[in-house]
Amino acid sequence: MNIAVDIKNVSLSIKDREILKNINISIEEGHFLGIVGPNGGGKTTLVKVILGLIKPTSGSVSVFGASPETLITGKSFFGYLPQHQNIDPNFPASALDIVLMGRYSKAGFLRWPGRKDREKAMECMSMMGIEHLRNMHYSQLSGGQQQRISIARALAGEPKILILDEPSTGIDVVGQEDFYHLLKGLQKKMNLTILMVSHDIGTVTTYVDEISCLNINLYYHGNPLGALNEKVMTLLYGKNFDLLTHTDSCDKCERLRP
Amino acid sequence: MLEVISSPFMQKAFMAGILVSLLTGLISVFIVLRKMSFIGAGISHAAFGGVAIGFFTGLNPLFTAIIYSVAVAIGIESTGRKGRISEDVSIGIFYSVSMALGVALVSLSKAYNVDLFGYLFGNILAITQTDIILTVITFILVSGFIVIFLKDLFLSAYNEELAQISGVRVVFLNNLFLISLAVSIVISIRIVGIILVSALLVIPGATARLFARGLVSMIALSCLTGVVSVISGLLISYEYDIAPGASIVLASAFIFFLSLVLKKKR
């Protein structure tokens, strides 16, 4: 099995404040990793270090054997969904225009997408079940549709690694469940390596292969069920938390849809 | 009407005005999409310092203003990016200091016959053949830059980090954009003046964004708004003897508010 991302002894301080401390994580190709932890725990920063957007103070990151900084100038392995997209509702783009942005790193002269790029973009939109939205203006789409457009955009660049930072923000509970199923399907179908940052530790553990619990330090990395114990949770969130577990036979839980 | 078109100085004003409106119409799209209105206003006010250096040293004020404005633009960008001080604070400091420097240098300079009002609010009579040639050259360079980097600019307006991981050299692109912006501002000063040029950097793009469904249509609508504003503004300026900067900006503001009302009614 190939190692997709190898993070070795990564530490990062900004203005004397420690953001990440001696992080070691190795992700195998085709695996689905969830990164959880409290706000301000360094999850987004770690993602940006992996992407090559921020240089760590010490330690190294390699992505399929190459450093992220060299990848950033060439053909990237990444499909990325940033945490806060903050897109102007009047941004002059149709759904297809946004998906085509994912092809810019591969498009030819002056990054103008050609026929092949359009075909790939449409293929990704149809994979997301949103091809009928292609001519809709971005502002006319719902939160869930915008999210699917963003995933289609990230997939259009034919990435080997999909990185999603809090992707379920703005989507309702039922939508979130569908969304995680969709990701799981993509992982299997395309042998995609997926890294997903989330605050929703309960749901994430159901879908991911491995979990990393991060709060400046890495407190746990491994099987998702192993993270759901008091010791790890106390290290991660402090003492003020209640760990609720739900099973299939739990009579207090009401499923929101059949 | 014929009288307006046949007078040589108005022909020059129209020619320069249309070129300036196309230039600012192009730039305005990205100023609006990248939320850079304040930096545009900052650089245009800072240009006064550059013009005053020209008065003081006896060099061509347009030339000194271009050099000075480009330096201020890059200064604002680099201090903001390094995070030492926030960009809005940096703009606030650069532009007020440049205005102060301008006032001090104009007071000290011996050139009493300087057309200060013309530089501040535009002067149709001041437009020379050289100004038109300079405007044509700037228009070719800036539109060339925008065509070559159109997709990079579009992607970085959408999300700068995504642009970076797609291989866009964001800092290089920003610096080129700021240089284009600074040069376009200085070139537009003859027509609209230092104080009011920032309106032409914002209003056409803001008007176009109300209706545009894509980037190309936004560029076309922005340029159209600019051209209509400049032509009507120049005619009003000629008819009522108003400084052209004021009449052009009022015309563009009228188009913007009319568009806003039409958009709400749709």
Share of chain A above pLDDT 70, in %: 87
List, as one string, the DSSP characters of chain A: --EEEEEEEEEEEETTEEEEEEEEEEEETT-EEEEE--TTSSHHHHHHHHHTSS--SEEEEEETTB-HHHHHHS---EEEE-S-----TT-S-BHHHHHHHTTTTT--GGG---HHHHHHHHHHHHHTT-GGGTTSBGGGS-HHHHHHHHHHHHHHT--SEEEEESTTTT--HHHHHHHHHHHHHHHHHHT-EEEEEES-HHHHHHH-SEEEEEESEEEEEE-HHHH-SHHHHHHHH-S--------TT-TT---S--
Q: What pLDDT is attached to residue A132?
A: 92
Residues B239-266: tens digit of each pLDDT: 898 888 899 999 999 999 999 999 887 7
Question: Around Cβ A188, how many Cβ atoms within 10 Å?
Answer: 11
Q: What pLDDT is attached to residue A244?
A: 60
pLDDT value at A74 more than 70: no
Residues A88-128: tens digit of each pLDDT: 778 899 999 999 999 988 877 788 888 899 999 999 999 88
Instruction: State yes or no: ipTM above 0.90.
Output: no
Q: Which residues of A touch B159 (CB under 8 A)?
A: 82, 85, 87
Residue of B81, B152, B165, B210 to mutate, interface with A, max A Cβ within 10 Å: B165
pTM: 0.88
* Cβ atoms of A51 and A78 closer than 8 Å: yes
Q: What pLDDT is attached to residue A257?
A: 40
Instruction: List the single residue in A with minimal CA-CA distance to B152.
Output: A111
Q: Which residues contact B250 (CB under 8 A, 6 or more apart)?
A: B233, B236
Q: Which residues of B touch A110 (CB under 8 A)?
A: 147-148, 150-151
Residues B134-170: tens digit of each pLDDT: 999 999 999 999 999 999 999 999 999 999 988 899 9
Question: What is the C-alpha separation between B247 and A241, in angstroms, rounded?
Answer: 64
CA B91 to chain CA centroid, nearest Å: 16
* Cβ atoms of A79 and A161 closer than 8 Å: yes
Q: Which residues of A touch B152 (CB under 8 A)?
A: 104, 111
Residues A161-207: tens digit of each pLDDT: 999 998 876 666 666 777 788 888 888 888 899 999 987 777 788 88
Q: What pLDDT is attached to residue B257?
A: 96
- Contact call for A104 and B151, based on CB within 8 A: yes
Q: What pLDDT is attached to residue B65?
A: 94
Residue of A44, A50, A87, A88 to mutate, interface with B, max B Cβ within 10 Å: A88
Q: Which residues of A touch B158 (CB under 8 A)?
A: 87, 91, 93, 98, 101
Residue of A90, A96, A195 to mutate, interface with B, max B Cβ within 10 Å: A90
pLDDT value at A238 more than 90: no
Q: Which residues of A touch B172 (CB under 8 A)?
A: none
Of A76, A91, A111, the CB nearest to B151: A111
Q: What pLDDT is attached to residue B122?
A: 85
